[in-house]
Structure 1
Amino acid sequence: MKTLIKNVQIVNEGKIFKSDLLIENDSIQKIAENISEAADKIIDGEGKYLIPGVIDDQVHFREPGLTHKADIASESKAALAGGTTSFMDQPNTIPNAVTQELLEEKYKLGAEKSYTNYSFSMGGTNDNLEEVLKTNPKNVSAIKLFLGSSTGNMLVDNPETLENIFSKTKMLICVHCEDEATIRKNTQEYKEQYGDDIPVKFHHLIRSEEACYLSSSKAIELAKKTGARLHIFHVSTAKETNLFRNDIPLKDKKITAEVCVHHLTFTNQDYETKGKLIKWNPAVKTQQDKDGLWKALLDDRIDVIATDHAPHTWEEKQNPYTSCPSGAPLVQHALPVMLENYHSGKISLEKIVEKMCHNPAILFQIDKRGFIREGYKADLVLVDLQKPWTVEKENILYKCGWSPLEGMQLHSSITHTFINGHLAYDNGIFSEERHGERLHFDR
């Protein structure tokens, strides 16, 4: 099977250039002007931009055990529509993926149900070091540690256990950094005043800058001490950005950072209109924090953009503060939202591709993905920057059926998404065949 994309603007490795691109079977065969080779399918890319598929290094697709909120099929389909071709799912499902057997059960589900490429992280606990050390770095994305509360038994708060994991595993370690003692103390103070229905506008003061910085700085100190390869998820404060470096190439960094789309989009002022729909952990914080995150993203102290896609049902999000779960869905809208920032002059197309496609591939050492190169897997996305649409109930694909972005007008549309050379999404129409593959890592 050969597909030829003609006359398209390719955005790749810091450049934008007009070219043709030929896909053969699952890979990019040729990138050149005026390819005249016969093809089974020809797509006219005139006026559109071709980028590598987005790689989202942090999602919660809720399967197994929480499929009333979301599942691998529904959310990977939403990802396709948003130009995300690979995801890395986190271990706090039910049961938690904290043994090799449970982890492989998730991979079986991925093989059966995912429309996109997939990987599932191994979870660490206070008492599963032996299982963590069995993890294969070639076909598992990372070890995930929650240094703040999570689903089930996944809070890792034993200093000796942490040091053991950091010093003994050769895997990339991804961490959620919030200091649990600080959060509990703050929560109790607000509960004494408001009971369980604490106004959500205080969320960023409960899950505070102090809670985030204390935890992140400790994790980084431990990584430096042990030589561990550490990646800090969803940095949410300007203060934390000063913990990271931009004076060495990403491939040589031992300590890296991620920022999420919602922390680049919302501030605590938005709690007034969005309420608990934008209750995330770590919390959306102040305008000063948002500005600091943007600065660090653009000067390369922050390496990747992700979603922390974490759906809950509408009913669950209506609960009082203390029983309202944190998290919201984002994979369908992450790239279009970032393209809004391109339209407003905040970030270039090249930088968006670097942070959402190239850098996750470099950081996780993903084999033959994340770039538009001959011989690489054909995970590709066609974007029309002049095709506006509005986020509405009718076009939301998440199983939970809602988005905190409802009513937002977006100026760019994803028109085509290719997975391993197969056209999986074409202007709102999905291929019902699944062509996603398990990600492999060049480690």
Structure 2
Amino acid sequence: MPVLITNARMINEGRELHGDLLIENGRIAKIAAQITAPAGAEVFDAGGKLLMPGMIDDQVHFREPGLTHKGNLATESAAAVAGGITSFFEMPNTNPTTTTRERLDAKYALAAGRCHGNYAFYFGGANDNLEEIKRLPPGISPGVKVFMGASTGNMLVDDPEVLNGIFAHAQVPIITHCEDTPTIKHNEDLARARWGEDVPFSEHGRIRSREACYKSTELAVGLAKKHGTRLHVLHLTTAEEMGFFTPGPMEGKQITAEVCVHHLFFTDADYEQRGAFIKCNPAVKTAADREALLAAVRDGRIDIIATDHAPHTLAEKSAGYWKAPSGLPLVQHALPTLFSLVRRGELDLHTVIRKACHAPAIRFGVQERGFLREGYWADLTLVDPEAELAVRREDVLSLCGWSPFEGLNLGAKILKTWVNGELAWDGEKVLAPRGRRIDFAGGR
């Protein structure tokens, strides 16, 4: 049936409109100051709250197949829609890794009918699948993920000839995790010599150091410039790396950059209280780095904001430094965290919507999503930016059952989420799966 959302404060593409939005057949049929409800329409009064496009999270680890004791496509996508994320791109370092066309197709089959948000899957780079990457056509995946640093799933690409070949021949964008493994291993040896098995979590940013990040990002950017590759560098963490990227609008850029919500929010001062709960790769760094990342979001050096959602069990995270895995569950609280930054005056609302909703759609050629536009799929989030969200462990929907934000009050509540025009989160519970496979420019 048609759905009419009335009395909404709509923000989209740098503009604001107070009015109504009509959904028909899963798509936005009309946006206007006032719309008469069609016969049989379900009407929602937004009460003047913020209606925005759903966030497109281009960097998540939902752990399926093979690591489903941590999370799976159903549980993690449920947490995502509760957090206002309506589409996600999932990473290839599962078990088995998504490094062949057969495995990519199998993953899409696994997702059908089970995902609460719209879904796409990256193809993974490895030292032994260059020919597969050469044959990967545009349209079936958002890109090829290349781990230029040690990763879960043994997907480190450290053969210079293969790395050069991937940058030279990929027909889709290359997405990189940039940390230099030899530098990290050297730092680990130094930490073991000093601390043994009892390394403080506050050392993580020195072990996964700024030098390791800079050296690897420099290599990736250099290869992209050499070959004219479309490159997107994920989860940047240091002030020094910002020098590799160009300020200004994203449109027309060959090389783009991304930051994650936790790197905009936490600093190394938070290790003392949160320990393994904020241990991630690349590491949370200093307050000065956080300020540099925020400045880069504002001036356009950073083009996209994402999560890098990566759940681990409480038992795994409760181990000491060497055994506790890196990664944080983030999708349920990403948008409220960004609204906290808006409330503080560190970011403005138009920038958040541009970087979290519009920019991923533009960068990766997502078809008919990421905007409030007539004719586009109705992927929508209704937000109360005046409310506070108290983060409690018992409310966490990710299978892992914890959040790095526990005990904090974040700067907004997600009131409702629509996916493909159907209600997916009603403010209290997640409803039936509504997600569809994402279409990209170039076709499937």
TM-score by length of 1: 0.98
Equivalent residue letter for 1:91: P
1:347 aligns with 2:347: yes
More deviation, 11-20/385-394: 385-394
Question: Is 1:310 aligned with 2:323?
Answer: no
- 1:320-346, CA deviations, whole angstroms, 9 ceiling, x for partnerless residues? 211210001000000001001111122
User: SS of the counterpart of 2:20?
Assistant: strand
Are 1:74 and 2:71 an aligned pair? no
In structure 2, the residue corresponding to 1:242 is in which secondary structure?
A: helix
Question: 2:119 touches 2:438 (CA, 8 Å); kept in 1?
Answer: yes
Indicate the SS of the match to 2:30.
strand
Amino acid of the structure 2 residue aligned with 1:442: A
How far apart are residue 72 of structure 1 and its match?
0.6
Give yes or no for contact 2:113–2:435 (8 Å, CA) kept in 1.
Answer: no
**5 Å matches for 1:374-413?**
374-413=374-413
Shift of 1:393: 1.5
SS of aligned partner of 1:252: coil
Counterpart-to-counterpart distance in 2, 1:10 and 1:335: 16
Once residues 179 and 410 of structure 1 are traced to their aligned partners in structure 2, the CA distance between those partners, rounded to angstroms, is 34
1:257, distance to aligned residue in structure 2 (A): 0.4
The one-letter code matched in structure 1 to 2:409 is Q
Q: Distance in 1 between matches of 2:288 and 2:402?
A: 28
Q: Deviations over 1:100-132 (max 9, x none)?
A: 111111111111321110011000001101111
Deviation, 1:425, is 1.0
1:131 equivalenced with 2:96 (yes/no):
no
Change (3 A) 1:222 1:411: closer
Partner letter of residue 357 of structure 2? C
Q: Whole-Å Cα distance in 2 between the matches of residues 2 and 139 of structure 1? A: 31
Bigger shift: residues 187-196 or 61-70: 187-196
Deviations 1:15-72 (A, max 9, x none): 1110211000110000111111415200101220100010000000000000001111
* Aligned-partner Cα distance in 2 for 1:191–1:96: 31
Alignment of 1:263-342 (within 5 A): 263-342=263-342
Aligned to 1:187: 188
Query: Which of structure 1's runs of 4+ aligned residues deviate more than 6 A?
Result: none
Distance 2:183 2:128 in 1: 23
Alignment map for 1:416-431 (pairs within 5 Å) = 416-431=416-431
CA distance in 1, matches of 2:389, 2:129: 47
The CA deviation string for residues 315-369 of structure 1, in whole angstroms up to 9 with x for no partner, is: 1011121121000100000000100111112211111100100001011110011
SS in 2 for 1:366: coil
- Partner letter of residue 335 of structure 2? L
Q: Is the 8 A contact 1:92 1:151 kept in 2?
A: yes
After superposition, give the CA deviation of every residue in 1:77-111 in whole Å (9 maximum; x if it has no partner): 00010000000000000111111111111111111
Instruction: Give runs of aligned pairs for residues 74-223 of structure 1, distance below 5 A.
Output: 74-223=75-224
Of stretches 338-347 and 4-13 in structure 1, the one that deviates more from structure 2 is 338-347
Quote the Cα distance in structure 2 between the aligned partners of 1:360 and 1:92: 21
* Number of residue pairs the alignment of both structures matches: 441
- Trace 1:357-372 onto structure 2 (pairs within 5 A): 357-372=357-372
TM-fit CA distance, 1:238: 0.7
Distance 2:183 2:389 in 1: 42
> Could you say which residue in structure 2 is the equivalent of 1:239?
240
- 2-side partners of 1:380 and 1:193: how far apart? 51
Root-mean-square deviation over aligned CA pairs:
1.0
Partner-residue secondary structure (3-state), 1:19: strand
CA contact (8 A) 2:224 2:230 kept: yes
Percent of aligned positions with the same letter in both sequences?
A: 50
Shift of 1:196: 2.7
Question: Contact between 1:139 and 1:438, CA under 8 Å: does it hold in 2?
Answer: no
> Which residue pairs with 2:440 in the alignment?
441
Change beyond 3 A, Cα 1:132–1:430: same
CA contact (8 A) 1:100 1:134 kept: no
TM-superposed deviation, 1:389: 2.8
The Cα shift of 1:251 comes to 2.4
Shift of residue 239 of structure 1?
A: 0.6
Q: Give the residue type in structure 2 aligned to 1:394.
A: E
Contact 2:17 2:33 in 1 (8 A): no
What CA distance in whole angstroms lies between the structure 2 residues aligned with 1:272 and 1:37? 54
Bigger mean CA offset, 307-316 vs 238-247: 238-247
Deviations 1:234-265 (A, max 9, x none): 00001101110024x42211100000001001
